[in-house]
Amino acid sequence: MKSFDVPIIYRSPLISAIKKKRKEQDKMKKDFTPTLLDFGPLQIYLARHFGFCYGVENAIEIAFRTVEENSGKRIFLLSEMIHNPQVNADLQAHGIQFLQDTNGKQIIPFEEITSNDIVLIPAFGTTLEIEDKLKRIGIQTEKYNTTCPFVEKVWNRSEAIAQKNYTIIIHGKPMHEETRATFSHTSSTAPSVIVKDMTEAIELSKYISGDKPAENFYTEFKGQYSADFDVITDLQRIGVVNQTTMLASDTQAIADFLKGVITKTFQPHQVEERFADTKDTLCYATHDNQTAVTGLLKIEADFAIVVGGYNSSNTSHLVELCEEKLPTYFINSAEKILSDKEILHHNFHTKEEVLTVNYLPAKEPLRILITSGASCPDALVEGVINQLAGFFTATISTEQLTAQFQ
């Protein structure tokens, strides 16, 4: 796989050595057991896969190269490049200005943009409407489009099944940038509807089976269906795609459930023509990181730490997986570990930070599980490791551990 020129400040000597070693030992990526960092009284288990994915590294490389090659030009980002506060702050420090916030609210009016400016499209992609608006201004977006290839794969697969007259069901968060972009692309070629979870999928299924009055659909799914959507005819042939950062297992469960409803509602022999196979749209990085957490959770540990941006969808799903098994602290940097007594962490359910006291159990060895989201620099994870190790009389340093993996 291609390697990218990502700023050194995002790299970690320790984690780079670990990832390189694990890759050499497991070229086919079949071993999802975690990596043990044994500090003696503290044992840290790192997930097999975590951190920057292909799409994120590609976006970061393009963004910093654009700054380097266009001195003196105004450079804008449609919204956050990725959902990581440190990376976005670095981009702003290099002079890049954001046009919108993550919800699509305008910060700088498009009317202030000229054809001499540069506008970067973030890794999530953007809507066809915004692309057209930029083109009318005279902005050439192709060179500065950092849309993740795996997001584009979803769009291409959706277009392919749309040509066969399937309606597109998108599993995603309606207000997420990627889902808004995917909905824009799919609804330009086919009837489309967004479901955010299995609960909504179950309610949607009642319109397929006819168990709910058709007219109720337009109220229940307001803002989540395409123009001129006909609930009577448009749910007879469907295919399920996803926001790439959702839980892959949830998307598959929704697809399997809706396929079962189609089978019950219509003749079994019609299933193949009424339900499109879209398994190939699941993002490899999302799948690997989530599977790695499953492997990580097989270790008996005292608690887990997940590092990443608080508005990162893929990171919040890793937290969700960990929370099912043990106490989990969602932090965006080592600075949130205030001391060996206090940790300030994010509750993604309530969207607020919580202070927990006496989070470190008084025992040795203490076992902690650590992973991070696809938009989290490895340097932040090493910072968390060093912060935790500093609370103990470690029998080995991170430098010595790095040497062991080289």
Bridge pairing between strands 35-38 and 42-46: antiparallel
Report the distance separating Cα 375 and Cα 359, nearest Å.
26
State mean pLDDT over 218-242: 97
Tokens (6 digits) for 35 = 């990596």
Is the pLDDT reported for residue 342 higher than 90? Answer: yes
pLDDT band at 270 (very low <50, low <70, confident <90, very high): confident
CA distances from 6 to 11, 71, 81 (A): 8, 19, 14
Q: Which helix (H) or strand (E) holds 43?
A: strand 42-46
pLDDT digits (tens, 9 = 90+) for 123-143: 999 999 999 999 999 998 888
Q: What is the pLDDT of residue 380?
A: 97
Residues in the chain, overall count: 406
State phi, psi for 276 to the nearest 5 degrees. Answer: -80, 140
Report the distance separating Cα 154 and Cα 281, nearest Å.
5
- Give percent above pLDDT 90 in the chain: 90
Q: Is 178 designated active site? A: yes
Q: For 322-393, where are the E strands, in sequence order?
A: 328-331, 342-347, 352-357, 366-372
State mean pLDDT over 88-95: 95
* Mean pLDDT, rounded, of the chain: 95
- Give percent above pLDDT 70 in the chain: 100
Tokens (6 digits) for 56 = 């994120």
pLDDT digits (tens, 9 = 90+) for 28-78: 999 999 999 999 999 999 999 999 999 999 999 999 999 999 999 999 999
Q: Are 331 and 383 in contact (CB under 8 A)?
A: no
pLDDT digits (tens, 9 = 90+) for 11-33: 999 999 999 999 999 999 999 99
State phi, psi for 36 to the nearest 5 degrees. Answer: -90, 130
Report the distance separating Cα 28 and Cα 152, nearest Å.
25
Under the phi-then-psi rule, with left for phi > 0, alpha for psi from -120 to 50, and beta for the rest, what region is 95?
A: left
CA distances from 72 to 94, 95, 125, 346 (A): 11, 10, 26, 39
State mean pLDDT over 297-315: 96
Residue from 57, 131, 178, 382 carrying the catalytic annotation: 178
Domains of the chain and CATH, by start: 8-53+285-405 (3.40.1010.20), 54-144 (3.40.50.11270), 150-281 (3.40.1010.20)
Q: What is the pLDDT of residue 1?
A: 62
Alpha helices in 297-346 (DSSP H): 313-323
Q: What is the pLDDT of residue 63?
A: 95
pLDDT band at 89 (very low <50, low <70, confident <90, very high): very high
pLDDT band at 223 (very low <50, low <70, confident <90, very high): very high
Cis amide prior to 327 (ω within 30 degrees): no
HSE, side-chain direction, 13 A CA sphere, residue 399:
0
- To 5 degrees, how large is the angle CA 145–CA 150–CA 156? 85
DSSP 68-104: HH-TTS-EEESS-SSS-HHHHHHHHHTT-EESB-TT-
Sign, CA torsion 156/64/106/74: negative
Max distance between CA atoms of the chain, in angstroms, equals: 68
- To 5 degrees, how large is the angle CA 316–CA 319–CA 321? 115
pLDDT band at 278 (very low <50, low <70, confident <90, very high): confident
pLDDT band at 269 (very low <50, low <70, confident <90, very high): confident
Tokens (6 digits) for 369 = 């599980």
Alpha helices in 102-222 (DSSP H): 128-137, 149-162, 177-187, 198-209, 217-220
The structure's pTM equals 0.92
